[in-house]
Amino acid sequence: MTTFYFGRLVEMFPFFLSGLWMTTKVAFISLIVCTLIGFVLGMLRANDTFFFKHLIGVYVALARGTPFVVQIFIVFFIFPEWGLQLEPFPAALLAMAIMGSAFICEIVAGGIASIPKGQWEAAASSGLTKVQQLRFVIIPQALKVILPPLVGQYVLLIKDTSVVSVIGVMDLTRVGWVTVMRIPEGLMVFALVGLLYFAISYPLILLSNYLERKMAR
């Protein structure tokens, strides 16, 4: 029986690859968007302006304090009540962007805060504008602190894309879920799904470990 199901699973492998492609798409687009928004918010948050600091603080707390499943339900079910009807795929990207930016914002703000005050002062007294100070003096140094946890966060975000399957995005998790209805071999099906996720995220974990060792020196 098991070999029969194994044969069926091999037949369905293209279906899994399409799921893998969807997961990659969701992960890739949302990682880029999250990084961009996260960096901008992080720089604003590290600023001393009361308004930005606290407004972004509230957003970060809301995004980090609630589970991603709840957030995705809110995006998918509540926005239609306000007249914004979203397809599953854009809704998934929006939810990922909201959640991921908050985490990356914290990493960036932490990295910038780790730079001693004297660096800002030295940059200011060389006549650099605020933006130039960030661009040429602060960020290059902060990047050393930011990069290792950032790559670690990428791994977490890629794994979180599995949750978008609950609103019907045909990603790898959804493919596994659909398959297990037809092939009642949960261990085999989800071992295969897990293996495909492993193939994406393990290289990034190794990269994160490498960066951590390298930056520590």
Partner 1 sequence: MLANFNFMVIFEYLPLFLSGLKSTFLISLVTLVLALITGIIACSMRISGIKTLQYPAIAYIEIMRSTPLLIQIYFLYFGLPSLGIVVPEIQTGIIALMLNSGAYIAEILRAGIKSVDQGQIEAGLSSGLNYVQRMRFIILPQALGVTVPPLLGQAIVMVKDTALLSLISVAELTRSGQTMTSERFMPAEAFLTVAFFYMCIYFCLKYLADWSQRKLIFREVY
Name the site residues for partner 1 (rule: CB under 8 A): 61-62, 64-71, 73-74, 77-78, 81-82, 155, 159-163, 165-166, 173, 176-177, 180, 184-187, 189-191, 193-194, 197-198, 201-202, 205
Sign of CA dihedral 190, 193, 199, 201: negative
Of 130 and 159, CB closest to partner 1: 159
**Six-digit token pair at 50?**
């009361």
Closest distance of CB 134 from partner 1, Å: 27
Of 145 and 193, CB closest to partner 1: 193
Cα separation, 16 vs 189, in Å, equals: 10
Burial, 78: exposed, middle or buried (Cβ in 10 Å; 0-12, 13-18, 19+)? exposed
> Which of helix, strand or coil describes residue 1?
coil
* Residue among 170, 163, 159, 164 at smallest CA distance from 21: 170
* Residue among 97, 95, 110 at smallest CA distance from 46: 110
Of 64 and 214, CB closest to partner 1: 64
Of 39 and 197, CB closest to partner 1: 197
Residue whose pair of structure tokens reads 């495909």 in the numeric block: 196
Closest distance of CB 201 from partner 1, Å: 4
Of 49 and 209, CB closest to partner 1: 209
Closest distance of CB 178 from partner 1, Å: 12
Closest distance of CB 70 from partner 1, Å: 5
Closest distance of CB 147 from partner 1, Å: 18
* Residue among 4, 22, 68, 2 at smallest CA distance from 196: 22
